[in-house]
């Protein structure tokens, strides 16, 4: 929902990332055979539904709540410093947590860290472009957005912004426009099946290099998530479009700055608490 904040990052923070990739990959040919034989208990175990059901319910609850009850896209526009302040703290703390799991300054790791940071900077500085509204393109948007969402450091919502479809898609969710949502959902399914397998293969074969690159991407993404930005807009067909965004330091410590920094500190504390609870769970 928040452009610049990756769902994959949140999965990393909460310690469910690799289990999530494994669960997504369980939707394969073997599952089709189990469905054909009606082996319901095996289906339940094979797909890790005890994990996926509450996760999917949480995702759809958040989508509906933050489009129909509290319009988060509108809050991002009216109070960007507060929203991004919280997520800046979350991601900054997650970088520290991830860095402690591997030796980022040994061997070839600094090279992968730099590569990830440069990639992140390039992606978050892309300029939104005009794009079509055909079903095939909405399908492509779904595939690319979900692929970005499960990669820590790159936001699916930000990809939708770049493809000029953020407001278009979330407005469709708010009014339940199935002519838009069906091709978008099909694209999501395709992207999940394809990209999750690629990520899981990389984590198995090149675990340390992949994690180091992910940390670099997270560092690069901080450029766009810093809560205080000079945002440049251009008017196209009577509507303002974001042209670019540059981080700035606030000129004075006013109430907005205080609240934003307080929320950033809250984000750091939340990650520390989640990480501590995750370590206790694994030790048990």
In the chain, where the domains are located = 7-283
Q: Give the tokens for residue 6.
A: 């990756």
Residue 7 has pLDDT above 60, yes or no: yes
| pLDDT, tens only, 11-21 | 877 778 888 88
The residue that leads in pLDDT, 116 or 106, is: 116
Cβ pair 156, 149 in contact under 8 A: yes
Burial-class residue 281 by CB neighbours within 10 Å (0-12, 13-18, 19+): exposed
Task: Kindly report the backbone phi and psi dihedral angles of residue 246, in degrees, each rounded to the nearest multiple of 5, phi listed first.
Answer: -125, 125
Q: How much helix, strand and coil, in percent to the nearest 5, is found in the chain?
A: 70, 5, 25
Buried residues in 81-95 as b, exposed as e (16+ CB within 10 A): bbbbbbbbbbbbbbb
| pLDDT, tens only, 137-161 | 999 999 988 887 787 767 777 778 7
| pLDDT, tens only, 160-204 | 877 778 778 878 887 888 999 999 999 998 988 888 888 888 878
Q: Please, what is the Cα angle at 281 between 276 and 282, to 5 degrees?
A: 100
CA distances from 212 to 106, 117, 276 (A): 11, 10, 22
Per-residue pLDDT at 10: 77
Q: Give the tokens for residue 249.
A: 């330091």
* CA 156 centroid distance within chain: 5
Residue 252 binned pLDDT confidence (cut-offs 50, 70, 90): confident
Cβ pair 107, 254 in contact under 8 A: no
Per-residue pLDDT at 239: 57
Report the length, in residues, of the chain: 284
As a whole number of angstroms, the distance between CA 48 and CA 157 comes to 27
Per-residue pLDDT at 127: 63
Cβ pair 268, 93 in contact under 8 A: yes
Q: Give the tokens for residue 55.
A: 């996760």
Tell me the pLDDT of the chain averaged across its residues.
Answer: 81
* Coil/strand/helix, residue 140: helix
Cβ pair 120, 186 in contact under 8 A: no
Residue 255 has pLDDT above 60, yes or no: yes
Q: Give the tokens for residue 70.
A: 């509290």
The residue that leads in pLDDT, 123 or 113, is: 113
Per-residue pLDDT at 46: 86
Sign of CA pseudo-dihedral 119, 139, 182, 54: negative
| pTM tops 0.95 | no
Residue 74 has pLDDT above 80, yes or no: no
């Amino acid at each position: 929902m928040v452009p610049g904040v990756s769902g994959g990052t949140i999965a990393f923070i909460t310690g469910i990332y690799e289990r999530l990739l494994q669960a997504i990959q369980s939707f394969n040919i073997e599952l089709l055979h189990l469905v054909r034989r009606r082996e319901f208990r095996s289906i339940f175990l094979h797909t890790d539904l005890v994990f996926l059901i509450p996760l999917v319910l949480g995702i759809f609850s958040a989508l509906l709540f933050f489009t129909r009850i509290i319009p988060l896209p509108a809050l991002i526009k009216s109070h960007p410093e507060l929203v991004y302040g919280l997520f800046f703290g979350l991601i900054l703390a997650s970088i520290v947590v991830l860095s402690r799991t591997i030796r980022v300054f040994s061997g070839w790791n600094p090279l992968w860290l730099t590569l990830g940071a440069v990639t992140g900077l390039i992606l978050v500085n892309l300029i939104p472009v005009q794009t079509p509204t055909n079903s095939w393109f909405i399908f492509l948007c779904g595939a690319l957005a979900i692929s970005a969402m499960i990669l820590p450091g790159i936001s699916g919502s930000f990809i939708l912004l770049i493809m000029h479809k953020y407001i278009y898609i979330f407005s469709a969710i708010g009014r339940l426009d199935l002519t838009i949502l069906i091709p978008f959902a099909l694209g999501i399914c395709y992207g999940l099946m394809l990209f999750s397998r690629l990520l899981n293969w990389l984590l198995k074969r090149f675990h340390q290099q992949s994690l180091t690159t992910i940390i670099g991407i997270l560092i690069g993404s901080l450029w766009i998530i810093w809560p205080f930005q000079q945002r440049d807009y251009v008017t196209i067909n009577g509507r303002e479009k974001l042209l670019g965004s540059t981080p700035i330091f606030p000129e004075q410590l006013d109430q907005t700055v205080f609240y934003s920094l307080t929320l950033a500190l809250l984000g750091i504390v939340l990650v520390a608490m989640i990480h501590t609870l995750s370590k206790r769970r694994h030790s048990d």
